[in-house]
Amino acid sequence: MAGATIWSLLEPSALLNPHPIYREWYGRSPVLWDPDIEAWLITGYDEAFTVLRDADRFCQDWRRVGVDTPPSLLSLQTLDPPEHTRIRHLMLEGFRTAGLDGVEQRTRARLDELLAEAEGAAGFDFVTRIAEPLTLYAVTGLLGVPDIDPAWFVPRSHTIVDSMDSSLRPECYEPGVAARAELSALVGAWIDAPLPEGFTAHVVRRAKEVGVERDILHNSLRVVLQAGFQTASRFLTTGLHALLRLPPEQRGPVDNDLAVNELVRYAGPVHVESRACVEDTVLGGRQIRRGQIVSMFLGAANRDPRTFDDSAAVRWDRTPNRHLAFGRGPHACLGAQVATVIARTVFGTIGHRYPGARLLAEPRPRPNVTEHGMFELHVAL
């Protein structure tokens, strides 16, 4: 493949802004074969939307194309309907049991404490001082489980995200397996412990009644903890970075769902989701063969000029805004509302309370192509 390759996405400048590469690929074809990794790179909105919605032709459960999945990875994220439907419905019950009010109150209270600690300083790191501890606190509250020490959890959690890019960085695979096992042990203790009524207590009690096996429940609770913490904390960082790069008069306020929706389209952290093709099919005029991988670049699809007017600009009142930042179809994000509540609380508070907030340095991006994030984001309030 001439020009930018998949490896080009690991360059620090591309990790901060991959869109020039995405545009180059899209210009060649919204569905482009990459012989280096033997996968289709999908940068077009319509094509990504089709794949996400069509679990018959494009699977998340790779056993359907003969690829083995270790039992420790079988969860709501890696099963397809109809098996997927049972665990997904059960987890939805968990989200409904927890509700959003508690998430908002807990986020607001902890945010006030963390901002009070940070605001006297001339500058501070938003990632480690606010985004990560706040999100972990909000997600454990949602799950109705004891607080977790960020110093223990956060490094293990990042190791798991690193392993999601192990096709590009194979050395990240084994540490990811070990970190996942450590998180599993934590989650196993919740399943065995008596917990007060809430998300986890509810799904543990109901699992047998609705026919969800213990291992699937266990792995799926780990997924909710990991996916919830990583995506929401990384969005606080990528979102604040994008906001503070705008001139102050163009910054929002991002204190409502419409504005959060536009920020997640423009600067959402999840850049790649992959599926395997189950039967020979045509997509965007290209012939896709059974067993081939299709990698959807959600960040690119969310700026597809065929779908979004003025797609590279932030427009706070954009409606409709049918972005793919939370996915679509059977695996669409279960935590989108939770993430929206956390984000509007944080961005709204910072926007109203500190209109002069500014970046102190360009951030150092984490080397993750799939899920973008930053080691640190130095800001002054």
Q: Which residues bind ligand HEM (CB under 6 A)?
A: 52, 60, 76-77, 88, 139, 142, 223-224, 227-228, 231-232, 235, 264, 268-270, 273, 325-327, 331, 333-335, 338-339
- Closest to ligand HEM by CB, 4 vs 331, is 331
- Closest to ligand HEM by CB, 4 vs 111, is 111
Residue with smallest beta-carbon separation from ligand HEM: 335
Nearest approach, Cβ of residue 280 and ligand HEM (Å)? 22
Nearest approach, Cβ of residue 189 and ligand HEM (Å)? 19
Which residue carries 């069509």 as its tokens? 54
- Closest to ligand HEM by CB, 243 vs 325, is 325
116 exposure class (CB count in 10 Å sphere: 0-12, 13-18, 19+):
exposed
- Closest to ligand HEM by CB, 4 vs 164, is 164
- Closest to ligand HEM by CB, 5 vs 166, is 166
- Closest to ligand HEM by CB, 4 vs 58, is 58
Nearest approach, Cβ of residue 107 and ligand HEM (Å)? 11
Nearest approach, Cβ of residue 99 and ligand HEM (Å)? 13
- Closest to ligand HEM by CB, 25 vs 49, is 49
Nearest approach, Cβ of residue 282 and ligand HEM (Å)? 22
Nearest approach, Cβ of residue 139 and ligand HEM (Å)? 5
CB 352 within 8 A of CB 379: no
Nearest approach, Cβ of residue 346 and ligand HEM (Å)? 11
